[in-house]
């Protein structure tokens, strides 16, 4: 006597060697013996054991699942009962086993209700399940097509609207990401390398800039709608003639200096800072945005300003203009000690915007002792010696210290140009020390 039984989620056949109340010793056609529970036996049969399961599976493969589902009706049923109805009479043991195999292989169609017993899935539930299965099939096919395209260095059409997310914050449940991840694994590359090869990253610079913007400017770099406050016209007009010192690429001039001899033999040094805050109405849209940014973002060839251009430009300390400024005045004695200071908000006349590249030939380490012919040479030399005095007062003066090299970066059409410039030059020291002085005085 043989048994057809269920074990480990599948079906097996074996010959009975011995039997107890709840278990039996069986031997497979391979000669392997095992102990099984009687409760797991679905059917007993006589005859040959070899080839039984293979013949039952072959018969099962010929059965139409949809037709079986239509045959079984709504009530719960045993597989042998369905086999009898399907085959129109008492089925063979192989035919009954074939029905059991088919029912077991179609859990969407037939719900298991116990040992050898099933119930047909409701029509609506089955339709929904089949629709879901078809959707998964189509998605798998779609994903496979995308993987092939990516491996061939072609960008799938559906990637076009999702590139930003795929590059910076992918939805790892999306088909596009899964396809990208699979292609990357098969190519042994990173996902970003696969995207680059497929032409998704046209500029490495823009890719890195995009990552920065997504992290720090998630809502974009544009400013909200705003209106500038009226610039007060009653500000007093200073008598000084100020000048600025900046790199040639600087477009908005935000600080300037002035030197004025006093009748008592002292010298007045003015540090003038542009005052665009005068155009910002407190607690309105622009003010709120500025408080979020807190600083301008600088990078080679580009910057993201704390204030919009239209709010900065009216306050830029441009040559030939008279602009509002917050001024710090230091009265400096001949020994370069500060004997008096005061601050005020005023209008300042800007005489000149000096640029590093054109000023340096006239104002450098070799021109400090003798007039270089520059109209502002004497003022610049005085400010340099005053700056040295400030540096000494801070305990930072060390003429033996090697001066490090500074680097300016320029990006033109994706080409980076690096220009070195010696730090610690008279220009550097002059501007740096006076700005430090202003910051320390204003806190």
Handedness of CA 251, 257, 260, 261 (dihedral sign): negative
How high does pLDDT run on average in the chain?
91
Please report the pLDDT score of residue 300 as a whole number. Answer: 79
Please report the pLDDT score of residue 396 as a whole number. Answer: 84
Q: What is the pLDDT of residues 9-66, one digit of tens each?
A: 889 999 999 999 899 999 998 889 999 999 999 999 998 888 999 999 999 999 999 9
Confidence of residue 88 (pLDDT cuts 50, 70, 90): confident
Q: Is 80 exceeded by the pLDDT of residue 193? A: yes
Please report the pLDDT score of residue 404 as a whole number. Answer: 76
Least confident among 26-35, 43-52, 218-227, 415-424: 415-424
Structure tokens at 435: 């700005």
Confidence of residue 405 (pLDDT cuts 50, 70, 90): confident
Please report the pLDDT score of residue 212 as a whole number. Answer: 92
Please report the pLDDT score of residue 385 as a whole number. Answer: 96
User: In angstroms, what is the C-alpha Rg of the chain?
Assistant: 43
Predicted TM-score (pTM) above 0.85: no
Q: Is 80 exceeded by the pLDDT of residue 263? A: yes
Distance, in Å, from the CA atom of 194 to the CA atom of 213, rounded to the nearest integer, reads: 22
Which residue intervals of 105-157 are DSSP H helices?
A: 123-151
Q: Are strands 322-332 and 338-355 parallel, antiparallel or unpaired?
A: antiparallel
Please report the pLDDT score of residue 245 as a whole number. Answer: 95
Which residues sit opposite 241 in a β-bridge?
Answer: 349
Please report the pLDDT score of residue 89 as a whole number. Answer: 85
Q: What is the pLDDT of residues 351-372, one digit of tens each?
A: 999 998 899 999 988 899 889 8
- Spatial contact of 234 and 294, defined as CB atoms under 8 Å apart: no
Q: What angle do CA 61, 63, 69 make, to 5 degrees?
A: 130
Strand ranges in 70-216 using DSSP code E only, listed in sequence order: 77-78, 110-114, 117-120
Please report the pLDDT score of residue 342 as a whole number. Answer: 97
> What value does the mean pLDDT take over residues 114-127?
92
Q: What is the pLDDT of residues 284-325, one digit of tens each?
A: 888 999 999 889 898 877 789 898 888 888 899 999 999 999
Q: What is the pLDDT of residues 19-34, one digit of tens each?
A: 998 999 999 988 899 9
How many other β-carbons are positioned within 10 Å of the β-carbon of residue 360? 16
- Spatial contact of 406 and 420, defined as CB atoms under 8 Å apart: yes
Q: Which residue has the higher pLDDT, 398 or 104?
A: 104
> What value does the mean pLDDT take over residues 71-87?
90
Please report the pLDDT score of residue 9 as a whole number. Answer: 85
Q: What is the pLDDT of residues 131-152, one digit of tens each?
A: 998 999 999 999 999 999 999 9
- Spatial contact of 242 and 258, defined as CB atoms under 8 Å apart: yes
Nearest CA to 28 out of 3, 45, 46, 9 is that of 3
> What value does the mean pLDDT take over residues 343-356?
96
Distance, in Å, from the CA atom of 419 to the CA atom of 222, rounded to the nearest integer, reads: 31
Structure tokens at 392: 């000494």
Please report the pLDDT score of residue 162 as a whole number. Answer: 92
Q: List Cα–Cα distances, 140 to 136, 155, 165, 195, in angstroms.
A: 6, 18, 21, 20
Q: With the CA atoms of 246, 273, 352 and 381 taken in that order, what torsion angle do they form, in degrees rounded to the nearest 10?
A: -70
Q: Is 80 exceeded by the pLDDT of residue 421? A: no
Q: Is 80 exceeded by the pLDDT of residue 403? A: no
Q: List Cα–Cα distances, 120 to 8, 99, 125, in angstroms.
A: 23, 14, 10
Q: Is 90 exceeded by the pLDDT of residue 175? A: yes
Q: Which helix (H) or strand (E) holds 311?
A: helix 309-312
Q: What is the pLDDT of residues 318-338, one digit of tens each?
A: 999 999 999 999 999 999 999
């Amino acid at each position: 006597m043989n048994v057809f039984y269920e074990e480990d989620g599948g079906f097996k056949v074996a010959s009975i060697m011995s039997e107890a109340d709840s278990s039996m010793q069986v031997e497979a056609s391979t000669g392997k013996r095992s102990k099984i529970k009687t409760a797991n036996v679905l059917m007993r049969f006589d005859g040959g054991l070899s080839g039984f399961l293979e013949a039952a599976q072959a018969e099962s493969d010929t059965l139409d699942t949809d037709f079986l589902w239509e045959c079984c009706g709504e009530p719960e049923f045993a597989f042998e009962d369905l086999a009898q109805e399907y085959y129109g009479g008492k089925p063979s043991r192989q035919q009954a086993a074939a029905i059991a195999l088919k029912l077991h292989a179609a859990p969407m169609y037939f719900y298991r209700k116990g040992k050898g017993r099933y119930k047909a899935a409701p029509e609506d539930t089955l339709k929904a399940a089949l629709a879901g299965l078809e959707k998964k099939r189509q998605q798998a096919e779609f994903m496979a097509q995308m993987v092939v395209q990516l491996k061939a260095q072609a960008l799938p059409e559906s990637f076009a609207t999702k590139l930003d997310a795929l590059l910076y914050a992918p939805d790892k449940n999306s088909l596009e990401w899964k396809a990208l991840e699979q292609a990357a694994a098969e190519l042994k590359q990173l996902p970003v390398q696969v995207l680059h090869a497929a032409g998704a990253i046209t500029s490495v610079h823009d890719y890195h800039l995009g990552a920065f913007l997504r992290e720090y400017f998630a809502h974009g770099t544009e400013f909200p709608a705003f209106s500038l406050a009226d610039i007060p016209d009653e500000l007093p007009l200073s008598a000084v003639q100020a000048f600025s010192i900046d790199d040639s690429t600087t477009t908005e001039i935000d600080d300037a200096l002035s030197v004025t001899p006093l009748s008592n033999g002292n010298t007045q040094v003015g540090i003038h800072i542009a005052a665009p805050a005068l155009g910002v109405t407190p607690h309105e849209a622009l003010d709120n945005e500025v408080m979020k940014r807190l600083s301008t973002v600088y990078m080679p060839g580009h910057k993201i300003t704390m204030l919009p251009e239209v709010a900065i430009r009216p306050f830029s300390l441009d040559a030939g203009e008279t602009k509002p400024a917050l001024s710090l005045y230091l009265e400096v004695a001949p020994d370069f000690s500060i004997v008096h200071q005061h601050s005020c908000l005023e209008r300042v006349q800007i005489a000149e915007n000096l640029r590093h590249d054109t000023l340096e030939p006239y104002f450098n380490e070799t021109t400090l002792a003798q007039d270089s012919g520059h109209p502002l040479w004497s003022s610049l030399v005085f400010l340099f010696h005053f700056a040295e005095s400030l540096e000494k007062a801070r305990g930072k003066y060390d003429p033996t210290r090697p001066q490090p090299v500074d680097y300016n970066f320029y990006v033109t059409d994706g080409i980076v140009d690096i220009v070195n410039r010696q730090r610690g030059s008279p220009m550097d020291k002059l501007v740096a020390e006076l700005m430090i002085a202003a910051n320390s005085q204003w806190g």
